[in-house]
Amino acid sequence: MPRGFGVGPHWWCNRFQDAGFRITVPRQAILDLLNRTHEHLSAEDIYLEVHKIYPAIGLTTVYRTLELLVNMGLVFKFDFGDGRARYELSQGPGTLKHHHHLVCTGCGRVIDYTEFIEQEKELVHRTERELSRKYNFKIDSHQIQFLGLCHNCQKENK
Amino acid sequence: MPRGFGVGPHWWCNRFQDAGFRITVPRQAILDLLNRTHEHLSAEDIYLEVHKIYPAIGLTTVYRTLELLVNMGLVFKFDFGDGRARYELSQGPGTLKHHHHLVCTGCGRVIDYTEFIEQEKELVHRTERELSRKYNFKIDSHQIQFLGLCHNCQKENK
DNA sequence: CTGATAATGGAAATCATTTTCATTAAGGAG
DNA sequence: CTCCTTAATGAAAATGATTTCCATTATCAG
Ligand SMILES: [Mn+2]
Ligand SMILES: [Mn+2]
Ligand SMILES: [Zn+2]
Ligand SMILES: [Zn+2]
């Protein structure tokens, strides 16, 4: 109902229409939020944030929408080991370039990195080609993450 | 109490003694199982399997032991997206070489692969060096996984 | 062998995510 | 613009993996 919410025809509207999904207020609000942050938000983070501007939102809808977005390939879902899934927009203007993650096992901090992404791309492509052939496996995406201790957490453990 | 269970002084006994942890029957049983399988077992898988040979085991102990083993670096913990953690022995004879995973998003099947591990090692080392320096981040380990559809699941989706 | 206490296991508690189901609202047809 | 079909929503309850509590047990140094 909030006439004129995030109404402009965003880049994702076509994706929805083509797939036959309805463009609803909750979906727009969630996409708007993801589009405007670079953080790795949990479902609850998103619920709380969207709730501020659209209090009628339900946590269930957040989960459902995120699942839809992941299936559509618009959103990445990650597990950084803290017991809750984290989400990040995969495309669109304002989105970070292709990157991977550095996860601190001490405090949970996550750093996006893009170093060596070019060399990595090459290796990944070769590996994908080889694995697809050898295991007859159709590869859609990949995840790379380094686990360790961030600056702060290194001191604490002496 | 089962005198003569998996009693022989296994390779991990020193690790336990050095760290001041006790070598108990449940711990031995869990390590024995992990040592003898190449599967990616969940805590409950392990509980059920160990339960056959040592019925007194409790699920709580399985979780606690696995956490300990992960902290000691003897076991890897993975999330393949099916809502439960999976565990794999990280070292010892009989352990697979350094490898990564191919995860089917259709049926959950996980394939270990070692292709291009040598080239990968090089890249990983360079990346680690660079990231450690740039972000002052002490890297302990890394995970790489490819997501996609296995042979069977490709057909089903037409 | 014995004592201090680390480790265990059952039951209850947590907590993220999913399911259920009655209600609402996209959006195509008219 | 109004109607109508039905996809989408949200509150509440259910689920299911993992954690916490706490009384009891078993390891192992002395
Ligand atoms: Mn990121
Ligand atoms: Mn493996
Ligand atoms: Zn940290
Ligand atoms: Zn499959």
Confidence check: pLDDT of B39 > 90: yes
Q: 3-state SS of chain B?
A: CCCCCCCCCCCCHHHHHHHCCCCCHHHHHHHHHHHHCCCCEEHHHHHHHHHHHCCCCCHHHHHHHHHHHHHHCCEEEEECCCCCEEEEECCCCCCCCCCEEEEECCCCCEEEECCCHHHHHHHHHHHHHHHHHHHCCEEEEEEEEEEEECHHHHHHCC
Asked if A126's CB is within 8 angstroms of B140's CB, the reply is no
- Which chain A residues are Cβ-neighbours of B146 within 8 angstroms? 127-128, 131, 137, 139, 141-142
Same domain, B43 and B13: yes
Same domain, B7 and B53: yes
- Which chain A residues are Cβ-neighbours of B103 within 8 angstroms? none
Q: Which of A71, A91, A111 is where one domain is finished? A: A91
Per-residue confidence (pLDDT) for residue B3, from 0 to 100: 37
Containing domain of residue A64, as a range? 1-91
Quote the CA–CA distance of B77 and B70 in Å, as a whole number.
Answer: 7
Confidence check: pLDDT of A110 > 60: yes
Per-residue confidence (pLDDT) for residue B40, from 0 to 100: 97
Asked if A143's CB is within 8 angstroms of B143's CB, the reply is yes
Query: Which residue is the nearest neighbor of C10, CA to C1'?
Result: B58
Per-residue confidence (pLDDT) for residue B52, from 0 to 100: 97
Confidence check: pLDDT of B7 > 80: no
Same domain, B60 and B138: no
Q: How far is the CA of B52 from the centre of ligand 4 (A)?
A: 29
Which pLDDT tens digit goes with each residue over B94-112? 888 899 999 999 999 999 9
Token digits of residue A69? 């977005």
Confidence check: pLDDT of A48 > 60: yes
Same domain, A27 and A53: yes
Q: What is the mean pLDDT of chain A?
A: 91
Same domain, A85 and A32: yes
Quote the number of domains for chain B: 2
Q: How far is the CA of A155 from the centre of ligand 3 (A)?
A: 10
Confidence check: pLDDT of A133 > 80: yes
Which pLDDT tens digit goes with each residue over A27-47? 999 999 999 999 999 999 999
Q: What is the mean pLDDT of chain B?
A: 91
Q: Which of B91, B112, B145 is where one domain is finished? A: B91
Same domain, A111 and A154: yes
* A102, A105, A135: residue with CB nearest B102: A135
Same domain, A48 and A81: yes
Per-residue confidence (pLDDT) for residue B10, from 0 to 100: 83
**Whether A64 contacts A22, CB under 8 Å:** no
* CATH number of the domain residue A157 falls in: 3.30.1490.190
Q: Which of A38, A58, A91 is where one domain is finished? A: A91
Asked if A146's CB is within 8 angstroms of B128's CB, the reply is yes
Same domain, B12 and B87: yes
Binned at pLDDT 50, 70 and 90, residue A1 comes out as very low
Which pLDDT tens digit goes with each residue over A50-98? 999 999 999 999 999 999 999 999 999 999 999 999 999 999 888 889 9
Same domain, A25 and A63: yes
Percentage of residues in chain A having pLDDT higher than 70: 93
Chain B interface residues (partner A, CB cutoff 8 A):
77, 79, 81, 102, 104-105, 111, 113, 115-116, 119-120, 123, 126-128, 130-131, 134-151, 154
Per-residue confidence (pLDDT) for residue A111, from 0 to 100: 95
Per-residue confidence (pLDDT) for residue A117, from 0 to 100: 86
Same domain, A16 and A76: yes
Same domain, A116 and A134: yes
**Whether A33 contacts A50, CB under 8 Å:** yes
* CATH number of the domain residue B70 falls in: 1.10.10.10
The ligand that comes nearest to the alpha carbon of residue B103 is: 4
Cα atoms in the 13 Å half-sphere on the side-chain side of B139: 20
Binned at pLDDT 50, 70 and 90, residue B17 comes out as very high
Token digits of residue B6? 């998996």
Longest distance between any two alpha carbons in chain B, whole Å: 56
* A79, A131, A144: residue with CB nearest B79: A79
CA A25 to C1' C25, whole Å: 10
Query: What would the mean pLDDT of B15-21 be, rounded to a whole number?
Result: 95
Same domain, A11 and A84: yes
Per-residue confidence (pLDDT) for residue B14, from 0 to 100: 93
Per-residue confidence (pLDDT) for residue A116, from 0 to 100: 85
